[in-house]
Amino acid sequence: MTGTHMMLHEIIEEHGERIGHIRKYYPYFKLAETSFAQYKDGKFNQLDMGYILLAVLRFFIEENNFKEKEVFYSEYETFVTALLRRDFACYLEEEENKELVSYIFDKITNEGKPFRYVYFDPSDRKQKTIRMRLIKSSIQNGVVRYSITSEAVEFYLDTKEIKEESTISVEQLLLEKLINSQNFRQGAEVVRRINNEVSRLQNRKNEVLRILSQDVFAGVRAYEEFLDTGMRWFEEEQHLFRKNSELIHRALERAAQDEASGEYNSQYYRAMDDIYALELELKKAVQKHSELLSACTQLQKQADERILKARVQSLRSSFDFRQAVFRMMERDRADLLGELVRPLANLKIRKSFYLPNLDNLLTYRPDQQETGEKIGEQVEEEYIYEDEAIEQRIHDNFEILLTELFRWIQQKTVFTLKEWNGYLEEKYTKRIFRNGDYYTFLVHICLKEEYQVREVRKNPDTFFEEMMNAFLARGEDNLYEDLAFAVRKDSGTSLQILGLFEVTNLIFERRDNDGQP
């Protein structure tokens, strides 16, 4: 019963933590399944999205972590173009290449939305959603800049290191089996592989130290990962070394007994040579492993020193009064001294005390017995992310505009955007034209020249048609099931809106389900 209880506890209580560990792999496999077969009728089906994704992540790590700068879209475009030409011999015209690079970027960034992974949490008995991004963006001075997220860096590093098991421990378990079966020659080969793994960890330690010297933040992440994949197994590895050394000594003792009894032949001498070779290799491994432990201890001290130095430097460079005064003198801006003095001018240093409170203090009688605080039922509030609020706003605004547009199409055979704008202004005032979603609506509706509601319900193939499908699915009376219409641009006429915006006039025309006017 105890074992069953522990198993159920591990299944239920640790499920959320396990999902948190594997969530960083979800975007890769979702994108790796992305086929180029549906893009441009399969013209670029030979491209591998999984390889392109890992290459792009490595590019962002180089730019963000090593060069300490954010990435412009033009830099990303140059990198991916070179990758497509070098690795896939994909040489395209400039316009077609830009479309392909933009398509790949939209997939990796999930069109600006986070990747969502829905799973069942058995402890709370409800569905939960995990969200993560690979690339995030920010706007500075009107320019969009991109950078890689910490989850993406962690995923990229995990693809190169095995975190849940020690290679040295696995090899030593194999060595133990070989010694017990008296396969000493093969055991020596296993110890050589252990020595190679120790050497690899030595090189990894040096690489972590190099990263720390270049970028403290990336170095700290690499250092913590190295501790997790290397030093956490030292105690177990040392125990296995001692155990295998004892097995070799027992083998030597048995060989000595056989020699004393005179029971030996040519096979005995070969076995002794293999045992001595194995013992020599194992001694080298133990020595190198001890040196690695000392090097890791020294690395920990160096890492602490460099982290402390980086913190001091960051604090020191956060604001330097001498540098500030020097810059003011260079710019000849003595008025900026007021920005330094102003925070000190409004300090409230005088405090007051309400005298009638003295009576309350003198007559106060504390309770003889403490009373517990009643805690009501706690209701977990669902947090709404900023992008979810924006997405909901777009859905709501598109639903209003679709409702008004479909009503006009049913009432009028042909009408222009100018006529429809007049109706919208009369009903919603000019404030509707200050809403950016109105112009987004016009851009999306112009992506196709004809729309048939029945086809949209069967197979929505654009973002706008997905929004339209969701709007139609909420309707219960099926008013628009037979609706079909065309959208044409009147390139000879443009509309001035609020004296701020200029849009091309559109012509909406109602049609039957066969596409005829």
φ, ψ for residue 249, nearest 5 deg: -60, -40
pLDDT digits 0-9 by tens, 460-490: 877 788 888 888 887 665 777 778 888 888 8
What pLDDT sits at residue 78? Answer: 93
Binned at pLDDT 50, 70 and 90, residue 240 comes out as low
Nearest to 295 by CA among 195, 201, 216: 201
Report the DSSP pairing between strands 414-416 and 484-497: unpaired
pLDDT at 231 over 70: no
Q: In this structure, are residues 108 and 76 in contact, taking their beta carbons and an 8 Å threshold? A: no
321 or 420: whose pLDDT is higher?
420
Tell me how many degrees the CA angle 393-399-405 measures, rounded to the nearest 5. Answer: 135
Helix axes 94-108, 73-88, angle to 10 degrees: 110
C-alpha 410: how far from chain center: 46
- Give the residue extent of every domain in the chain: 2-158, 167-318, 386-511
Determine the residue type at 154: E
pLDDT digits 0-9 by tens, 293-326: 777 777 777 777 777 776 666 555 456 777 788 8
pLDDT digits 0-9 by tens, 184-228: 666 677 677 777 777 777 777 788 777 777 777 777 777 777 776
Cα–Cα dist 418/421, whole Å: 5
- Residue 347 gets the label, from left (phi > 0), alpha (psi -120 to 50) or beta, of beta
Determine the residue type at 117: Y
pLDDT at 160 over 70: no
φ, ψ for residue 498, nearest 5 deg: 60, 15
The residues, any chain, with a CB within 8 Å of residue 445's CB and separated by 6 or more, are: 464, 487
pLDDT at 372 over 70: no
Q: What is the DSSP string of 143-176?
A: EEEEEE-HHHHHHHHHTT---SS-HHHHHHHHHH
Determine the residue type at 44: F
CB atoms within 10 A of CB 149: 18
What pLDDT sits at residue 168? Answer: 63
Cα–Cα dist 189/30, whole Å: 41
